[in-house]
Amino acid sequence: MTKCHFLTTINYTNHQYSKKLKIHTDSDEGEGNIKYTITGEGAGIIFIIDELTGDIHATERLDREEKASYTLRARARDRLSNDLLESESEFVIKVQDINDSEPKFLEGPYIGSVAELSPIGTSVMKVTASDADDPTYGSSAKVVYSVMDGEKIFTVDRNEGIIMTAVADLDRETQDRYELVVKATDMAGQMGGLSGSTTVTIVITDVNDNPPRFPQKMYQFSVSEGAAVGTPVGRIIATDADMGENTDMSYLIKEEGDLFKVTTDVETQEAIVSIKKPLDFESKRTHNVVVEAVNKHVDPRFVDLGSFRDQTIVRVSVSDIDEPPIFQPADGTIMEVQEDTKVGALVGVISARDPDVKNKPVRFSIDRTTDQEIIFHIDPDSGAITLGKVLDRETAGWHNITVRAVETENHTMASHSAVSIRILDVNDNPPELATPYEASICEDAKPGQLAEWVTATDHLSLTTSPPTSNPWER
């Protein structure tokens, strides 16, 4: 039996095919009596055969990445009788690979992230390119990676495609993202290799590397001395170049904390400086409140960058308001006068002053609802209280009057003070028997013998305490 021989591997590099596949039978003596035919995958379409010579040609460019092999069957017949000279034989055409496919990034463009201030060599992300060429044949599918744009900031592992930081001073506040172009080259990067590229966006994430900062070293506000406790004086805010929770801060008062307090507006992160205790213009006109802003979430890795706090001065100017006169002493006055003092004589002097800076004149008067009998008079300018009627201690041992002090320029500014006047007794009444007495004694009574007990009353007073009623006491 004759046999057919096959050349089963072909390599097509372009449309002008220089190599051919040939089948041949031992019975072929070159006289053209043999007819060769093929059937199977691509027969008559992709592959055609010369019936006389057995040469097989491809009619189109072969692409190994689309189909790596073709299975065909060959027959050799007698051209005259059409008899099959031997049994049908099967053969396989394997398409030999050439480097005609560039690497491709199937998942690009890529987006990755890395924290600012990460050390050199910190892994950011991995990119992968695939090559459709045959990985088992040569280095056509051997891909290596390189950074085309951004190589000063980031680098990529040549073989693994892992992108890493190339510097240690990435600063989100300076630049918060980078655009890279990563190239993948086959043939292990050798000359003539094909390449593909992709874009990589790297977002720089925040760390707490910036302290709070007040835009101003001093803020100035004013508030009336009559403002109620809790009244806001002003708002200030410290800024932080970080983002998210790294900007969270709290505010503290370092000086003047006895008179002022600070709270935080949770929505705006502003510090609200408010009055903690009543202010007094006459005591202190200006307060320098030291406010401190402190980060809530300090990262221990960056404590060597400095203190994560800042201070500013809030200068609060207290404005004056018109205040009523102040009596001295403020809790009332006790005076004493003999009951036999003559009308017009001085009983005592009461004092009051305007606490305001202008120290306006004050005028005095007696509230006549507390001295309806007009027993006392007061000088409106000096505050001297004099006697207006004769006194009788036995009738009233104390007199409780109320003195009113008012500013001469503003009668709404008035104050009141209780004045208790004690009437001192003088011996102006003889003793009196408690009841009429009638006694009897025996005629033989001895000298010194008790005849009767008698009692007498003297109106001298032993009272020392003043009356307590005062209609102006609160």
Mean pLDDT computed over every residue of the chain:
86
Task: Give yes or no on whether 104-205 and 322-474 have one common fold.
Answer: yes
Cα distances (angstroms) measured from residue 214 to each of 108, 208, 251, 455? 43, 17, 11, 89
Q: Which of 10-24, 56-70, 220-234, 404-418 is predicted with the least confidence, judged by mean pLDDT?
A: 10-24
> Looking at the predicted structure, is the pLDDT value of residue 466 above 50?
yes
- Percent of the chain whose pLDDT exceeds 90: 54
Q: What is the mean pLDDT of residues 223-251?
A: 95
Q: What is the Cα–Cα distance from 151 to 129, expressed in whole angstroms? A: 19
pLDDT value, residue 306: 85
Question: What's the Cα-to-Cα distance from 22 to each of 55, 70, 78, rounded to whole Å?
Answer: 4, 15, 18
pLDDT digits (tens, 9 = 90+) for 84-104: 888 888 888 887 777 878 999
Average pLDDT over residues 396-422: 91
Output the pLDDT for position 330. Answer: 82
CA atoms in the 13 A half-sphere facing the CB of 198: 23
Q: How far is CA 240 from CA 216, 291, 295, in A?
A: 14, 16, 9
Q: What is the pLDDT of residue 410?
A: 84
Does the structure show a pLDDT above 70 at 459? no
Q: What is the predicted pLDDT for the residue at 41?
A: 92
Is 322-474 CATH 2.60.40.60? yes
CA distance 284 to 275: 14
List the beta bridge partners of residue 129: 105
How many C-beta atoms surround the C-beta of residue 220 within 10 A? 12
The CA distance from 328 to 59, in Å, is: 124
Distance CA 402, CA 472 (A): 7
The full set of domain ranges for the chain reads: 4-95, 104-205, 218-319, 322-474
Least confident among 116-130, 185-199, 349-363, 434-448? 434-448
d(CA 322, CA 206): 55
CATH annotation of 104-205: 2.60.40.60
For 4-95, which CATH superfamily applies? Cadherins (2.60.40.60)
Whether residue 182 has pLDDT greater than 50: yes
Task: For residues 335 and 288, give the distance between their C-alpha atoms in angstroms, rounded to a whole number.
Answer: 45
pLDDT at residue number 52: 85
CATH topology of domain 218-319: Immunoglobulin-like (2.60.40)
| pLDDT value at 130 more than 90 | yes
Average pLDDT over every residue of 322-329: 87
Q: What does 244-271 look like in DSSP terms, one character per residue? A: GGGG-EEEEEEESTTTEEEEE-TTT--E
Q: Within the chain, what is the greatest distance between any pair of CA atoms? A: 208
Q: Give the best-scoring range by mean pLDDT among 23-37, 322-336, 438-452.
A: 322-336
Average the pLDDT over 193-216 and give the result.
96
pLDDT for 33 equals 83
For the chain, what percent of residues have pLDDT higher than 70? Answer: 85
Give the model's pLDDT for residue 284: 93
**When comparing pLDDT for 316 and 84, which is higher?**
316
Taking the C-alpha atoms of residue 159 and residue 188, their distance in angstroms, rounded to an integer, is 9
Alpha-carbon span 9 to 64, nearest angstrom: 12
Q: Are 93 and 70 in contact (CB under 8 A)?
A: yes
pLDDT for position 439: 65
In this predicted structure, what is the pLDDT of residue 18? 42
